[in-house]
Structure 1
Amino acid sequence: MPIKSLSDNERIKLESNCLRGRLAEVFDDTSTGDIPADEQQLIKFHGTYLQDDRDKRIALKREGKDKAWSFMLRLRMPGGKVTPAQWLAMDKLSDTYGNGTMKLTTRQTIQLHGVLKGNMRATMQEIHSIAMDTLATCGDVTRNVTASGTPGDSPAHRAAHDLASLISAELLPKTHAYHEIWLNEEQIYTGEKEEEPMYGKTYLPRKFKIALCVPPQNDIDVFTNDLGFVAIVENGQTVGYDVVAGGGMGCAHNNPATFPRLADAIGFCTPEQVVAVSRAIVELQRDFGDRTDRKHARLKYTIADRGLDWFKTTLVQYLGYALPASRGFKLETSGDTFEGTSRSRTLYIEGGRIAERPGYPLRSALREIAKLHEGTFYLTANQNLVIDGITNQTAAAIDRIIDETKLNSRHTGMRLASIACVALPTCPLALAESERYLPELLDRIDTSLHELGLQNESIITRMTGCPNGCARPYVAELGFVGRAPGKYNVWLGGSHAGERLGYVYRESVKSDDLPALVHDLLSAFRDERQPGESFGDWSLRKRDALLPEAS
């Protein structure tokens, strides 16, 4: 069998001198908003992507002009924690250097869009000044570590959030390149002197995602991660974590070698072992992941190709001991809870977009809340925002702002359980709309929900503009995956708790046809559901009748 050549990204990393490459001199050149291809890949490790406004491509090309280049920056925020002061600073930055909005992502982080090349260093320095950074939020490294709920929910949640921070710190690249390039710090290392003690010169084959889950919540969709830790709680305290590995959503249309996969249970570990287990599994993937085909480079393919028994046996060599059997757990929902408590309020953020719209002053309202809030904000993996640590002194004022600006106006259960990726106009991979189209689609579906008496039914709904699955559509009860401009594959059958992959119900459905298609599904669900049956369970039970071959 011929030996496969390494992907070109491996060369870029190898030659990068611990993520430096030519980034410093490239960003000194402001004669163009673009950067060379190698640096486009390398800069991802620093937490940013080069993008262009695809809405403007055709007009600019006709005028003989370059694309409307800009950068997206993504913050590192373990567990989604952000202080009110940091929120206000990011809100200001979105005006100073961004496009006037912030995006709350499906990995509990904030993204700034529209930052021009000449403003990159100033933006990075402003972020650093509020004790935040963007290092390793993109690229072939461990991404932002997510955690269920907020630390105030229970001792188990606090323990999970503490571990998210510890894991993030342990698996962060140790290169000084970030500080040299963006923060104007003195170059300490030259030539081959600096080393990455864990990642090595070529880092990981692809990105690596880690999440900590506290049952019965599965708000971080633990099975969709490369590595997950599920809290086992006894008498209110976490005695350890069931470990799951090998999940991932990304795939490609018409490429059966790529597929979404749920993580497998591989054992149990104590809280004291979590960081060591994380490091060992990352190191195993570093050494055995596929570096020849980036579409086949995630941990899920390493496990699928070599087998779970091989994985667990090999892990012993890295960890030094075998993990005991999993304890088992029960999950109930992968959505967020909006009831609120005496100390917290959860706000639905449509598509995760913090913006100011006519009749919906979301951004300014959150700015006012941040000015008076004495606690913390937490971003959820469902793109929503939790105002945590509300005091008796601030509760009335916060509730007044929420009520006056209708931030918590009544939404259908499906809308509250919906998320969408960015897609057009900035994501270069998008095949169809997502964030901009889902609200319009839900407006039309809401009519059906009210007509059918299902307006309070929580149906986990996700939309992505391409098959990479950033909004996790393959485990949704109802998923829409962009196939081409204005066309979507429709997925059904995921579980409400996020424990099951769905199936393709229809392919290449035109956006104009989606409302009627969903109406018919909802009508059948209302008429045929069993007592207490969720939409996902119903659509799985009725799969044979629903698929085209059955008609």
Structure 2
Amino acid sequence: MSDDKSKKVSAVEKIKLASNYLLEPIPQELADGTDHFGKESIQLLKHHGTYQQDNRDERSKEGKSYSFMLRTAIPGGIISSEQLLAEMDLGDEVANSTLRITTRQGLQLHGVLKKNLKQAIRRINDVKLTTIAACGDVKRNVMCSPCPYKGDPVYDQMQDLAERLAIHLTPHTGAYYELWLTDEETGEKHQAGGSNGQVVEPIYGPTYLPRKFKFAIGLPGDNSADVYTNDVGLLAICENWRIVGYNILVGGSFGVTPSAKKTFAAVAQAMCFVTPNQAIDVATAIVKVQRDFGNRADRKVARMKYLIHDWGLDRFKQKVEEYYGANLPDPRPVVVHGFNDGMGWQAQGDGKWFYGLNVENGRIKDEGDFRLKTALREICSTMAPPLRLTPHQSIIFCDLAEKDRPKLFEILRRHGVPLSEDISNARRWSMACPALPTCGLAITESERVLPSIIDQLDVELDKLDLKDEVFTFRMTGCPNGCARPYNSDIGLVGKTAGKYTIFLGGRVCGDRLNFIYKDLVPEEEVIPDLVNVFRYFKEAREQEESFGDFCHRQGVEKLLAACDTVPK
């Protein structure tokens, strides 16, 4: 609990404590014949990997249209063709016929009805995947730089740590197995687990964490996992083609409540250096410090960044050392300098190849002449490559032979799917959250409008001869920042209906926050405002200076003075 030892806790804390380790009252409501759950179960279901949502496009006079988002946690984004086929089948059979790659390398089904939840979760587990801890007040999906470079053992070492860390920090409660994986006729459980949820959680305890908790693993030369945006980032330090340790970064988080001035976005700070053998134990100690001292009275300031802000990094590190049982050395002096999104045709280093396919906003669907879902079915059925999901919502086909390249490209082109080489840089480096109509927090559109915004921007960048510039462009329908807009070169954040806050000055490497350039900008004015900044960038940039670095150097006052008077 917090420093003042206050016994006051939020309503969610009381729900977790009374739940018998995430179980009650879900069983009764799961069988009550209604299309929705009550407020207690809604909070608990997040830990099982699902959110109750209301489709605002389908509301009627009779009331809300309830369905569920179901998320699969996939450490490092490593998944097989068989598993992806199973998820796409579920999308067709019990969801809205699409599948979505998340910004944390997982998968989401949307539009699942309550009556189909158990079937869907059980079938996900049947193909050796899981939804447990994909949401909720626990560790979320562990991210990792996804490229399958076999000539560089560092990538395999990072991905192995992501898998072990995910297993180590998965909740132990048997509630998940009892609710979703028990045979209804025989009562037989499909996986080992305690009964009635009465398993004491050795790491989390009966009330789990004060808020969600995110991990990511990356490299100074490849921060595609966006380690600075996580509660804990592990930045691999390498010598002679092996990882000698990790800089532990703490306190990253992007959720903001504009009406609450006490909330803020933060990038993580380097706390210490650990050896590979220490990494999981130190990570566990950090989780336990947040468990015991994070704010359980006010969920708006319950993330670990607020504990570090209140205590200071030195005091926080001392407490982690106390829980770990030893002093921890200072972090190594390294600087993040690269971001590899894994797109295109690349050598793995073992004689095989991989191909990174850009999936716009992560949405796997068939729509008109664009038939990505059907293309992926053919690829996964006939070629069956191992797959990686990326932190930019795209997909990598692994272990390909040189002779596979024409077949892969032919399948994609035949189904109207643009190759990564065929799309603009602006589109390649963009991403959006789902937002409307299903996300309960969404204020404005995001996923459904970003493609048209990129269409407009591409035209203007071509006129300015800036189409080859690389910059991250991220959009969210609310300030919670699920698409990580606060460290991007350009961030668009929904502020009120049809209006956005424009953020500028982050950078591709992701280790710097951007700043508010303009607030409450109507959607139709976003591109004219950005074009004015790009025009100034072309005129006043330094040699080889990136767009984000230019905006950061200029600052908001100079940008406004130079750009806000330019006719739109």
Is 1:407 the counterpart of 2:418? The answer is yes
Deviation at 1:390, TM superposition (A): 1.1
Deviation at 1:396, TM superposition (A): 3.0
Q: 1:215 aligns with which of 202, 220, 223?
A: 220
Q: 1:81 aligns with which of 65, 78, 101?
A: 78
Is 1:295 the counterpart of 2:300? The answer is yes
Tell whether the 8 Å contact from 1:155 to 1:236 is kept in structure 2 after alignment: yes
* Match in the other structure for 1:473: 485
How far, CA to CA, are the matches of 1:255 and 1:66 in structure 2? 30
Partner SS for 1:389: strand
Partner SS for 1:249: coil
* Match in the other structure for 2:509: 497
What is the correspondence of 1:357-372 to structure 2 with a 5 Å cutoff?
357-372=367-382
Contiguous gaps of at least 5 residues in structure 2: 348-352
CA offsets per residue over residues 93-140 of structure 1, 9 Å max, x none? Answer: 100101000111110000001110111111111111111110001000
* Match in the other structure for 2:269: 264
Deviation at 1:388, TM superposition (A): 1.2
How far, CA to CA, are the matches of 1:287 and 1:4 in structure 2? 13
How far, CA to CA, are the matches of 1:18 and 1:4 in structure 2? 20
How far, CA to CA, are the matches of 2:385 and 2:220 in structure 1? 25
Q: 2:535 aligns with which of 503, 523, 526?
A: 523
* Match in the other structure for 2:31: 28
Tell whether the 8 Å contact from 1:97 to 1:115 is kept in structure 2 after alignment: yes
What is the correspondence of 1:151-550 to structure 2 with a 5 Å cutoff?
151-152=148-149, 154-184=152-182, 186=187, 193-334=198-339, 336-342=341-347, 343-392=353-402, 394-404=404-414, 405-408=416-419, 410-543=422-555, 544-547=557-560
Deviation at 1:3, TM superposition (A): 4.6
Deviation at 1:361, TM superposition (A): 1.3
CA offsets per residue over residues 44-65 of structure 1, 9 Å max, x none? Answer: 00000000111122xx02xxx1
Contiguous gaps of at least 5 residues in structure 1: none
Is 1:131 the counterpart of 2:139? The answer is no
How far, CA to CA, are the matches of 1:190 and 1:167 in structure 2? 25
* AA at the equivalent of 1:297: A
Q: Taking every aligned residue pair, what percent have the same amino acid on both sides?
A: 40
Tell whether the 8 Å contact from 1:155 to 1:237 is kept in structure 2 after alignment: yes
Tell whether the 8 Å contact from 1:212 to 1:228 is kept in structure 2 after alignment: yes
How far, CA to CA, are the matches of 2:163 and 2:5 in structure 1? 43
Tell whether the 8 Å contact from 1:268 to 1:324 is kept in structure 2 after alignment: yes
Quickly say closer, same or farther: Cα 1:484–1:383, change in 2 above 3 A: same
Q: 2:109 aligns with which of 82, 107, 112?
A: 112
Partner SS for 1:265: strand
Quickly say closer, same or farther: Cα 1:37–1:548, change in 2 above 3 A: farther
- Could you say what the CA RMSD is over the residues aligned between the two structures, in angstroms? 1.8
How far, CA to CA, are the matches of 1:367 and 1:328 in structure 2? 46
Deviation at 1:68, TM superposition (A): 1.1
* Match in the other structure for 1:42: 44
Question: Aligned residue pairs: how many?
Answer: 545
Partner SS for 1:292: coil
Tell whether the 8 Å contact from 1:151 to 1:159 is kept in structure 2 after alignment: no
* AA at the equivalent of 1:377: L
CA offsets per residue over residues 128-177 of structure 1, 9 Å max, x none? Answer: 11111100010000000000123435211111110000000000000011
Tell whether the 8 Å contact from 1:156 to 1:214 is kept in structure 2 after alignment: no
* AA at the equivalent of 1:165: E
Tell whether the 8 Å contact from 1:215 to 1:231 is kept in structure 2 after alignment: yes
Tell whether the 8 Å contact from 2:20 to 2:198 is kept in structure 1 after alignment: no
TM-score (norm 2): 0.93
Tell whether the 8 Å contact from 1:219 to 1:335 is kept in structure 2 after alignment: yes
Tell whether the 8 Å contact from 1:148 to 1:217 is kept in structure 2 after alignment: yes
* Match in the other structure for 1:97: 94
CA offsets per residue over residues 223-274 of structure 1, 9 Å max, x none? Answer: 0100011111111111111110011001111322000001110111111111
Deviation at 1:393, TM superposition (A): 5.2
Deviation at 1:538, TM superposition (A): 0.5
Quickly say closer, same or farther: Cα 1:52–1:191, change in 2 above 3 A: closer
Tell whether the 8 Å contact from 2:387 to 2:395 is kept in structure 1 after alignment: yes
Quickly say closer, same or farther: Cα 1:101–1:320, change in 2 above 3 A: same
How far, CA to CA, are the matches of 1:101 and 1:406 in structure 2? 15
Tell whether the 8 Å contact from 1:77 to 1:108 is kept in structure 2 after alignment: yes
Tell whether the 8 Å contact from 1:150 to 1:161 is kept in structure 2 after alignment: no
Partner SS for 2:387: strand
How far, CA to CA, are the matches of 1:276 and 1:5 in structure 2? 30
Deviation at 1:457, TM superposition (A): 0.9
CA offsets per residue over residues 313-338 of structure 1, 9 Å max, x none? Answer: 11111111122121132323446142
How far, CA to CA, are the matches of 1:191 and 1:407 in structure 2? 49
How far, CA to CA, are the matches of 2:45 and 2:497 in structure 1? 29
Deviation at 1:285, TM superposition (A): 0.4
Deviation at 1:5, TM superposition (A): 2.2
Spell out structure 1 runs of 4+ moving beyond 6 A: 548-551
Deviation at 1:196, TM superposition (A): 1.1
Tell whether the 8 Å contact from 1:241 to 1:268 is kept in structure 2 after alignment: yes
Deviation at 1:25, TM superposition (A): 1.5
How far, CA to CA, are the matches of 2:44 and 2:397 in structure 1? 35
Partner SS for 1:509: strand
How far, CA to CA, are the matches of 1:161 and 1:47 in structure 2? 22
Partner SS for 2:503: strand
How far, CA to CA, are the matches of 2:503 and 2:39 in structure 1? 35
